[in-house]
Amino acid sequence: MAFLKVIFNSIYVNSNDQKNCCCPEISHILKNFLVNLNIKPAMIKTSLDPEKLECMANKLKALGHPVRIAIIDLLEKNEKLTVTAIQSHLKIEQAATSNHLRILKDQQIVKSVRDGKNKYYSLKLLQLADIVSCVEKCAD
């Protein structure tokens, strides 16, 4: 919850103070993400809905692992990939790949479509790729 408070403060309290944000465009990206979750800034300022906060926190937690960030990056650059393709790109075990994809799918960050014997994964929430890209700039 503390992480969400920092995000809310940087977006809604200090939105004009770019010195406090390592990535100036993150406010815009996160505002769009919140709008897509049907969370209006006025709602956040006056009343934080615990269910919406939990949903947002879970999506951000799902991004909190290097392999899952790499999967999002791969899927952003490739429209759709199979588990085997993701596994070979990341050089990790298929079971681990499937587990990370399950976590991302449970949070509705990725989606899967079966085509014959293959299951293809793609990004469902493209805005999260923007957040990952923005955070990557902060790491430089």
pLDDT the model gives residue 105 = 95
- Tokens for 35? 């709008």
From 27, 57, 87, give the residue that closes a domain: 57
Confidence at residue 135, expressed as pLDDT on a 0 to 100 scale: 81
Question: How many structural domains is the chain composed of?
Answer: 2
pLDDT of residue 48: 66
Residues 6 or more apart whose Cβ sits within 8 Å of residue 61: none
Would you give the DSSP letter of residue 38? T
The predicted pLDDT at position 15 comes to 41
pTM, two decimals, is 0.66
Across the chain, the runs of DSSP E, i.e. the strands, are: 81-82, 110-115, 118-123
Q: Of the candidates 96, 95, 101, which has an alpha carbon nearest to the alpha carbon of residue 119?
A: 101
Indicate whether 115 and 95 sit together in one domain: yes
Q: Which of 12, 34, 57 is the last residue of a domain?
A: 57
| CA dihedral of 38, 43, 49, 51, whole degrees rounded to 10 | 10
Mark whether 70 and 42 lie in a shared domain: no
Q: Which two tokens stand for residue 132?
A: 């990952």
Half-sphere exposure of 128 (CA within 13 A, CB side): 27
Does a structural domain hold residue 135?
Answer: no
User: What confidence tens digit (pLDDT) does each residue in 24-39 have?
Assistant: 566 666 666 666 666 5
- Return averaged pLDDT per consecutive 10 residues of the chain, 140 residues in all: 49 42 60 65 58 85 92 93 96 96 95 95 87 80
Residues 121, 71 within the same domain:
yes
**Which pLDDT score is estimated for 85?**
96
CATH number reported for the structural domain that contains residue 97 in this entry: 1.10.10.10
The whole-number pLDDT of residue 24 equals 55
Q: Which domain holds residue 89?
A: 66-127
